[in-house]
Amino acid sequence: MMELLPIGLLRPPRELSLWDVPSLMGEILRKGYVDECISVNEDMEVTGGLELYWALYKLGVRLAPVGFNGCYASLDDLGFYDDVKGNPIRVYSDSLDLALRGIPTPLVKLRSYSNERVRVWAKLEWFNPFSLSIKDKPLLHILREMSRRGGLEGRVLADASSANFGIALAALAPQFKARARVYLPRRAELFGRIIPRVMGAEVVETEAELTVELLSRILEDSRREGLLHVNQFLNDLNFESHLRITAKELDYQARMASLKLVAIAGSLGTSGHMAAVDFYFRYRYGDKFKTIMAQPARGEHIPGMRRSETGMIWLAMIAEGYELHDVTLGEALEALRRVARVDGLLIGPSGGAALAALEKSVGVNDLNGDVVVIIPDTGFKYVNLISKLVGG
């Protein structure tokens, strides 16, 4: 006999990592159901099906199939989409509630890139409230999990950022009664230098070229000063957040709007959101689904983006079969201008790069259906950078 119990009531004897259950997570996404049971004792301790428990937990289901045999439940039965349905009334008890239930972020059809065969949709991640960027999602999940495992009150939360993640950290740390310290590389955007300070964070400006070059310094400072290193670049909770929120809410939106999703395009930063999207849709939609990624061309600097060879663990270990295209800053800005002048939306340069990669895709002429382009943030942050487009 099977019961569907809130997964939060179950008590696993130990924690498994992302790398212990990726194949099982993929199988669940591919099948769309589970046909195994999780066994528990009278104290709700998990006594069997530990891998299934953690696969479901990391996918973000609300309910778990508990029993001894004969279990079967679809993802809908398990409340798989419950955490991405949002609050239709749009009234929130505080800013943290807004971040958790003010989703999904909008999906808007772009007239500037759509045609009779392909409908291109922009997923506007600047509707996340703290950093006005996609970076709210991984950090919120990371801090909630860190808080669950052992309290953040009074701690100093530290990480490297080029801009958006630092703002998210400065905004979210106080929500967990903690403080923020943000380490910035030499070419960090001006808004990334100013806004965290306004929010009360300590900002450490450095001469490093890339954010990842700051990791050893943060690790040393953490050991010496007792900082809690968030580590967006290597923390698997980054990937997990985009698997259970970004990818899932996009899947949910597509289902509700009866879209025929055939491809998703995006840009590379930590690789968290694009690796998760690739993993999710490759299993959920099959091998014919295309994932198209943009990276800066050699010698080019596009804010918030890095090249794949600078170290991206989820791209190297989990993502498969994706297309990767080099994009220049000029190409990214031209895409930004095109959307602004046709659709009236000012997207950020990394979103422009994703659109440029979509145009470069070797298979773009074969696409027929709906394509989503993930827009990480808004172009209003980059006034100095895009000022060269005025009058062009």
Residues 207 and 277 in one domain: no
Domain end residue (candidates: 231, 247, 267): 231
With CA atoms as reference, report the closest residue to 187 among 162, 166, 164, 168: 162
Which residue, 26, 33, 37, 30, is CA-closest to 64? 37
pLDDT, one tens digit per residue, over 324-375 is 999 999 999 999 999 999 999 999 999 999 999 999 996 767 899 999 999 9
Q: How many domains, the chain? A: 3
Asked if the structure places residue 330 within a domain, the reply is: yes
Structure-token pair, residue 344: 């009236």
Q: How far apart are CA 181 and CA 183, in angstroms?
A: 7
Q: Tens digits of per-residue pLDDT, 257-299?
A: 999 999 999 999 999 999 999 999 999 999 899 999 999 999 9
Task: Determine the length of the chain.
Answer: 392
Residue matched to tokens 């989990």:
318
Question: What one-character-per-residue DSSP string does 337-374 give?
Answer: HHHHHHH---B-HHHHHHHHHHHH-TTGGG--EEEEEE
Domain housing 326: 95-131+237-389
Q: Are 283 and 318 in contact (CB under 8 A)?
A: no
Residues 196, 328: one domain? no
Task: Evaluate the CA torsion angle 216, 170, 248, 68 in order and state its sign.
Answer: positive
Helix (H, G, I), strand (E, B) or coil at 309: helix
β-bridge mates for residue 48, sequence order: 39
Of residues 366 and 129, more confidently modeled: 129
275 lies in the same domain as 215: no
| 81 within a domain of the structure (yes/no) | no
Terminal C-alpha separation, the chain:
68
pLDDT at position 392 over 80? no
Q: What is the CATH number of the domain that holds 102?
A: 3.40.50.1100
- Residue at which a domain ends, from 231, 249, 280: 231
Check whether residue 306 and residue 160 sit in a common domain: no
Q: What percent of the chain has pLDDT over 70?
A: 98
pLDDT at 282: 97
- Kindly list the distances between the CA atom of residue 210 and the CA atoms of 159, 183, 297, in Å, as whole numbers in the listed order: 13, 11, 15
Shared domain for 259 and 142, answered yes or no, is: no
Q: Can you give the pLDDT at residue 388?
A: 80
Judge if 268 and 384 occupy the same domain.
Answer: yes
Buried-exposed string 235-248: b where 16+ CB fall within 10 A, e elsewhere: bbbbbbbbbbbbbb
Mean of the pLDDT values across residues 20-24? 98
Residues 58 and 31 in one domain: yes
Mean pLDDT along residues 121-144: 98
Do residues 246 and 102 share a domain?
yes
Alpha-carbon 156 to chain mean position: 23
C-alpha dist (Å) from residue 76 to 52, 83, 252, 277: 17, 12, 11, 20
Q: Both 312 and 254 in a single domain?
A: yes
Spatial separation of the C-alpha atoms in residues 76 and 4, rounded to whole Å: 12
pTM for this one?
A: 0.96
pLDDT of 151 reads 83
Retrieve residue 132's tokens.
């006005």
The strand pair at 33-34 and 73-74 is best described as: antiparallel
The enclosing H or E element of 333 equals helix 329-343
pLDDT at 228 (0 to 100): 97
For residue 88, being part of any structural domain is answered with: no
Q: Percent of the chain scored above 90 by pLDDT?
A: 95
Q: Tell me, what's the pLDDT at 391?
A: 60
Same domain, 248 and 347: yes
For residues 223 and 242, state if they share a domain: no
Q: Pairing mode, if any, of strands 228-229 and 39-40?
A: unpaired
Per the prediction, the chain carries an average pLDDT of 96
Say whether pLDDT at 196 is over 90.
Answer: yes
Q: pLDDT of 54-110, one tens digit each?
A: 999 999 999 999 998 889 999 999 999 999 999 999 999 999 999 999 999 999 999
